[in-house]
Structure 1
Amino acid sequence: MKKKKIFCLIGQLGNGGTEKQLYLFLKYLDREQYNPTVIVSSSDKGKWGKYIEELSIPVISLCGMNQIFKLLKFRYLVFKYKPEVIFSWSFFTNAFYMFAGRSRFIGGLRGDLHVAKEKLHPFHRAKSLDNESFIVNSSLLKKELMQEGIKEDKINLIHNIYERNKNFSEKPYLEKWRNELRKKMEVSEDTILVASIARNTPEKDIPFFIDVFQKASERMPRLKAFLIGEGGTAFAEEIKRRGLSEKFILTGHYENASELLPAADIYFLSSKTEGMPNVILEALDAGCCVFSTDVGGVGDILSELGEELSSKVILKDRNIDSGTEKLIETAQNPALRKKIIEKSGECLKQFQPEKIMSGYYEVLKRIER
């Protein structure tokens, strides 16, 4: 049987969540039926590019060219390889559809639409919304596209793939690892450790985490913060200025950040915007109770908890005082945290590779008709 050629078009192959999702899509793609090639528009520096090449999938870079030459090179590649389907994995590469020839083109949206639009000039923005169909990874993003006038039947909701940590599925291992981490960090058993993994970007809003945590810890001294990644160290001086140094553990850059999550009792996502936050899945997998702003796909992930439970740990606004109250309520309620942890497996089932890939195959079959 002749394999169908697919182009996966992405803006960059850095170290982000979209790149990881592309890698997982390619990892689980049926290579007996499909022959994929990755086209990178802007930057090919990062670990996921290397991982994709290790799957024996070619990566073609358009980096270093001006925009006109990029588009011409892309058009040449389409003419040369004649892919049946082109998947765009970055919002700004959706506009490449104008040079897709007869190939079927599927646009992508994997992060907040308003943020994505702000980065583009009006013509580019309009063309990035002018695709024959789209794939989004959360209900919120689907709603945002519909508000732009895009018909619902053109939008395919396919959640992120999540590979569970095999070690974390074994409760004895997880408990042992938790104890070892907390001992190494000199965190007592009665301390409530509130963690976050974040880059230092405005979207991650680490100041909101610090503000809420500070007010909560003033009323509940057992709380301690655990900021993983360079986002935390970027605010080290501010934390010191507030007299909170003893209340914060800052790791700086850590290659496998999710490996540290079992030490935490609560994972606090303070982001202003998200697509489908993989870190919430990682936190649930690591045995953390999650506590989050109402962004991106958080509601989709926690839907299996039911409205009563999820409403207790999702912040509907960005008010520091209400965030403080909810964090304290979560920290003071071990029964609530236990319930959420017990239901985490049901939440994670929605994102199993086989389930998510079936959604991609359904889209592929539909457009091949």
Structure 2
Amino acid sequence: MPQKKKILIRIGSLRHGGAEKVVVNFLKNLPKDKYEVDLLINLYTGMYIKEVPSWVNLRYLLKGEMITTNKPHEIPVKAFRVLYQKMFLWFPSLLYKFVLKNKKYDVEIGAIHGMYRELLSSPQKDSKKIIWIQNDIFNLKEYTPDVIRQLFRFDRILVISNKLKEEMQKVSQNDREKKAVVKIFNPIDKKDTLNKANTPIDDYPFSNDLPTFITIGTVYPQKGYDRLLDVHKKLINEGLKHQIIIIGDGFEFEKTQTKLNQLGLQDTVKMLGFRSNPYPYLKKADFYVMSSRHEGFPTIIAEALILNKPVVSTDVSGIKDLLQDGQLGLITPNSEEGIYEGMKKFLSEKELSARYENEIKTADLPFVLEKSVAHLQDIIDEL
């Protein structure tokens, strides 16, 4: 019997988020007779913890809820957590000795790009190292050219879109670096998505049959909900009646709700906050709208396609791969004007959504679970 490969995977938490879901989807589908996996999370919290398979060794640095605000009584807790995690970054041998019990790994994986320092500071110099870039780092100001250069110290750099692969290969300096960049589709569990979408709900916010757009995601500036509200107001003023559902929480929730109220949109836009299962709402809506300023690989778009929803999205990283260069949905310029034109097209050209629905039905979707998991195994096995 060949020896199992020992793998360490690191991530911040298992809270609701695309990268977190991806990790759990992979773990649930990796063969346990082939790998021995330790999953190390900085903060033991989040809805996906209960989905981690029992054969995976779950280790953590701290326990407690995620703190996303800056209330005075929370600041000391946040400061302690930051220092505690920094200590292991400064003295990694302590982490490997006391938390990871001196275990030797064949492969160490940073499941999110923010973990690159932790992985590069590993005292295990012989392990192969993989970093998974789950966002468009070329749009994140902390990812300076110097930081991006550091990523080429990894044996493999997994990226989730062709755009990111091209950008990374452009800054690579030799053949080894170029070959280190591998595009991999985030896995989407089609069966799970369809099952969850059939869950009955009794709080769908609209009872009429006006065209309804839905958008799902953390309420951060990058999601562009501010410009979505402005576009909605403009279309309403032009007599193009429709409604919007926003699902998600985040530090801009109150600010966005205030803007919604100031624009007088309380009857046509509903912010529902976080939902652990947003799929029944997605299933009931007519269209999916993505107003993001930047993304990595917007998993929710893949799930909208699984539920056969026509999509209108700004041209962010990953979207051309997902919508097959516009074959499966509308890709608009990344601007308020772009979002406006895209939504207007769906509202004024009634046959358009039926055309996209037919395209989606017959498309070969490359992000299905089995294909992605097999690809990741190939990457791990060849190292």
Alignment TM-score, normalising by the size of structure 1: 0.85
C-alpha change, 1:61 and 1:233, in structure 2 (3 Å) is closer
Task: Classify 1:123/1:246 alpha carbon distance in 2 versus 1 (closer, same or farther; 3 Å).
Answer: same
- The amino acid of 2:56's aligned partner reads I
Partner of 1:140: 163
CA deviations over 1:295-339 (Å, ceiling 9, x no partner):
121111111xx65x45x7111231x23431221112222322112
Counterparts of 1:112-127 in structure 2 under 5 Å?
A: 112-116=136-140, 118-119=141-142, 126-127=149-150
Pair 1:103 & 2:127 matched:
yes
SS of 1:325 mapped into structure 2: helix
| TM alignment of 1:257-272, pairs within 5 A | 257-272=278-293
- Of 329, 335, 347, 1:331 maps to 347
Q: Once the 2 structures are TM-superposed, how far is the Cα of residue 242 of structure 1 from its aligned partner?
A: 1.0
Identity of aligned residues (%): 21
Query: In structure 2, what residue type is equivalent to 1:210?
Result: L
Deviation string for 1:199-225 (max 9, x for gaps)? 221111210211122212222432111
* Separation in 1, partners of 2:382, 2:192: 34
Decide whether the 8 Å contact of 1:3 with 1:32 is kept in 2: yes
Which protein is richer in helix relative to its size? 1
Tell me the matched-pair count.
352
Length-normalised TM-score, structure 2: 0.82
One-letter code aligned to 1:359: H
* Structure 2 alignment gaps of length 5 or more: 63-80
The gaps in structure 1 that reach 5 residues or longer are none
* Aligned CA distance change for structure 1 residues 111 and 3 (closer, same or farther; 3 Å): same
Separation (CA, whole Å) in 2 of partners of 1:133 and 1:164: 27
The alpha-carbon deviation at position 252 of structure 1 amounts to 2.2
Q: Which of 180, 191, 196 in structure 2 is aligned with 1:154?
A: 180
Contact 1:198 1:206 in 2 (8 A): no
For residue 354 of structure 1, give the secondary structure of its aligned residue in structure 2: helix
Q: CA RMSD in A?
A: 2.9
- Distance in 2 (CA, whole Å) between partners of 1:38 and 1:90 is 13
Residues 169 and 39 of structure 1: CA distance in aligned 2, closer, same or farther (over 3 Å): closer
CA deviations 1:135-159 (Å, max 9, x no partner) are: 1111122123223326331111110
**SS at 2:341 equivalent:** helix
Secondary structure in 2 matching 1:196: strand
1:314 paired to 2:336: no
Instruction: Provide closer, same or farther for how the CA distance between residues 27 and 88 of structure 1 changes in structure 2, counting only shifts above 3 A.
Output: same
Q: 1:75 deviation in Å? A: 4.1
Q: CA deviation at 1:78?
A: 7.1
Alpha-carbon distance, 1:247 to partner: 1.6
Verify: 1:353 aligned to 2:352, yes or no: no
- Deviation, structure 1 residue 44: 2.6
Which residue of the partner structure matches residue 61 of structure 2? 62
* Match of residue 250, structure 1, among 271, 295, 313: 271
